[in-house]
Amino acid sequence: MQMIRRILVRHWRPVLACAALAVAGSAHAGATLDAIRKRGELLCGVSTGVAGLSAPDSTGRWTGLDADVCRALAAAVLKDAQKVRFVPLNTQQRFAALQSAQVDILSRGTTWTLTRDASLGFHFAAITYYDGQGFLVPKKLKLKSAKELDGAAVCLQTGTTTEKTLADFARANRIKVKPVVFEGFEAAYKAFFSGRCQAYTTDVTGLASLRSKESKTPDDYVILPELISKEPLGPLVRRGDDDWFAIVKWTVFALVEAEELGVKQGNAAQLKGSSQDPSVQRFLGVSEDTGKLLGLDREWALRAVSAAGNYGEIFERNLGSGSKLLLPRGANRLWSQGGLVYAPPLR
């Protein structure tokens, strides 16, 4: 009997392995993608207006890194970067909107924390920006360090991780600060610019946006050098649809991989017909069809980059040298350039 069992195992093992490969060779689209395709547009939850991340311009067009992630995603799954409906959400609304399926993705400068990852029913798909909490202060105060804020009133918005981080920083450095807390973002920054507080605290991207967009005299304010927290920002999706989770995750990774490969918004189509680099050919769908593993077609990554540019282009246009914020890439450089930005291989 044991001999017969061994013979059967040897006989069926290759068949079972082939069957497993066949199943793994393609992916069902998933309920979320099915709904998006039926609707004909992606519902993207964004902020109510943070320059560099997601904010409407003078024509009403949404701009920023978070907005561009959604455009790349729409291009990948719907073959049209314009098929996005941007849904502005404040801090209190954002999680409930994703939980109730009012949006398909929350791409809204949200910090990845254990509590949010483990208790809200969401997956953080990837990190799109390595940020940190800092302080904006009037230049006339001549402060050089956040540790000099002892006794200062600090304006901030409630409902975020900001308040707890400020308390931890003050306790760790044995200084006393007076938090002046507001439910609304606008009320908080207006109080700061009116002189009610000596400092305003939030993520540095938010501080740069405030200084550029909301201050009448941006040069009168400085961002202090300390980062008092780690604030890895990225898009969220609901748990329970692993196919959609994979699509969002790998679309972000594709934007990073494109920068590594030198594939840009302006040359992606040309490289498809001319590049002899095996990695570029695979990325653009010339030599391999990676899309079938995600329930997409072979040119999904090509469209994503053609729509929004690679990660470096998106960063510089919205946050860096091509923007009013002029933020250095810092930790958001590619890993090969001394930064933290890294994508698993697209193969």
Q: Whole-angstrom Cα distance, residue 158 to residue 162?
A: 8
> What pLDDT is recorded for position 22?
40
Sign of CA dihedral 139, 52, 105, 58: positive
Per-chain mean pLDDT for the chain: 92
pLDDT-derived band at 27 (thresholds 50, 70, 90) equals low
Q: Whole-angstrom Cα distance, residue 45 to residue 84?
A: 10
pLDDT-derived band at 17 (thresholds 50, 70, 90) equals very low
> What pLDDT is recorded for position 14?
43
Is 72's pLDDT higher than 90?
Answer: yes
| Residue 302 CB coordination number (10 Å) | 24
The better pLDDT of the pair 82, 6 is held by 82
Q: What is the pLDDT of residues 84-143, one digit of tens each?
A: 999 999 988 999 999 999 999 999 999 999 999 999 999 999 999 999 999 999 999 999
Among 2-16, 237-251, 283-297, 298-312, which stretch is predicted with the lowest mean pLDDT?
2-16
Listed by start position, the domains of the chain span 31-130+233-256+309-328, 133-229
Structure tokens at 262: 């030198």
Rounded to 5°, angle at Cα 216 from 193 and 89:
65
Query: What mean pLDDT do residues 181-203 have?
Result: 94
Structure tokens at 130: 């390595």
pLDDT-derived band at 18 (thresholds 50, 70, 90) equals very low
Could you confirm whether domain 31-130+233-256+309-328 is CATH 3.40.190.10? Answer: yes
> What pLDDT is recorded for position 16?
38
pLDDT-derived band at 56 (thresholds 50, 70, 90) equals very high
pLDDT-derived band at 20 (thresholds 50, 70, 90) equals very low
pLDDT-derived band at 158 (thresholds 50, 70, 90) equals confident
Which fold is adopted by the domain 133-229? D-Maltodextrin-Binding Protein; domain 2 (3.40.190)
Beta-strand relationship, 129-131 and 62-63: unpaired
Query: What mean pLDDT do residues 160-184 have?
Result: 93
| Residues 145 and 189: beta-carbon distance below 8 Å | no
Radius of gyration of the chain (CA): 23
Cβ burial of 333 (10 Å; 0-12, 13-18, 19+) is: middle
> What pLDDT is recorded for position 246?
98
> What pLDDT is recorded for position 3?
46
Q: Which of 185, 219, 183, 220 is nearest to 202 (CA)?
A: 185
Q: Which of 322, 199, 292, 304 is nearest to 252 (CA)?
A: 304
Query: What mean pLDDT do residues 317-326 have?
Result: 95
Q: What is the dihedral of CA 206, 207, 212, 213, to 10 degrees?
A: 50
Q: Which residues of 292-301 are buried (b: 16+ CB within 10 A; e: fewer)?
A: eebbbeebbb
Among 27-41, 92-106, 264-278, which stretch is predicted with the lowest mean pLDDT?
27-41
Query: What mean pLDDT do residues 204-218 have?
Result: 92
Cα 241 from chain centre:
19
Is 174's pLDDT higher than 50?
Answer: yes
> What pLDDT is recorded for position 29?
63
Equal CATH topology for 31-130+233-256+309-328 and 133-229: yes
Q: Which of 198, 147, 152 is nearest to 174 (CA)?
A: 147
Is 25's pLDDT higher than 60?
Answer: no
Mapping DSSP onto H, E and C, the string for the chain reads CHHHHHHHHHHHHHHHHHHHHHHHCCCCCCHHHHHHHHHCCEEEEECCCECCCEEECCCCCEECHHHHHHHHHHHHHHCCCCCEEEEECCCCCHHHHHHCCCCCEECCCCECCHHHHHHCCEEECCCCEEECEEEEEEHHHCCCCHHHCCCCEEEEECCCCHHHHHHHHHHHCCCCCEEEEECCHHHHHHHHHCCCCCEEEEEHHHHHHHHHHCCCCHHHEEECCCCCCCEEECCEEECCCHHHHHHHHHHHHHHHHHHHHCCCCCCHHHHHHHCCCHHHHHHCCCCCCCHHHCCCCCCHHHHHHHHHCCHHHHHHHHCCCCCCCCCCCHHHCEHHHCCCECCCCCC
> What pLDDT is recorded for position 48?
92
Among 5-19, 121-135, 286-300, 328-342, which stretch is predicted with the lowest mean pLDDT?
5-19
pLDDT-derived band at 148 (thresholds 50, 70, 90) equals very high
